[in-house]
Amino acid sequence: VEELKKSGVECILCQDDYICDEAVRKLSHMGVRIPDQMKVASCHYSRILENYPVTVTSLKFNITELGRRSCQVLLDMIHGKTVPDKTLLDYEIILKESTKG
């Protein structure tokens, strides 16, 4: 987080809420104002990030369906079946205060 801030990055996109939680805490400890000085978003939606003074933008998807599809593709690969190069699932971008401005 410190290196990203020093390099002039404007937004941190985190893989999950645990990483995002750590990034937000570090930014807060550094005195960085979200979203004024750094925008933050997460690739996973959960209630964890709702407890901050600034709510965090996130990607919301059905994690159960993601697991089902992933397992099915893996099983198909193990059994020598042809699998698609890409599998698209529905998702929603939940825009919150952390990326406004």
Number of domains in the chain: 1
* 66: in domain: no
* 23: in domain: yes
* Residues spanned by the domain of 46: 2-61+91-99
Specify the pLDDT at position 3. 94
As a whole-number percent, the residues of the chain with pLDDT over 70 amount to 100
Surface-to-core class of residue 24, CB atoms within 10 Å of its CB (0-12 exposed, 13-18 middle, 19+ buried): buried
The rounded mean pLDDT for the chain is 92
pLDDT digits (tens, 9 = 90+) for 75-99: 999 999 999 999 999 999 999 999 9
Res 2 pLDDT > 90: yes
The pTM assigned to this predicted structure is: 0.78
Higher pLDDT, 78 or 47: 78
* 68: in domain: no
* 6: in domain: yes
- CATH number of the domain residue 95 falls in: 3.40.50.2300
- 91: helix, strand or coil: strand
* 77: in domain: no
* 33: in domain: yes
80: left (phi over 0), alpha (psi -120 to 50) or beta: left
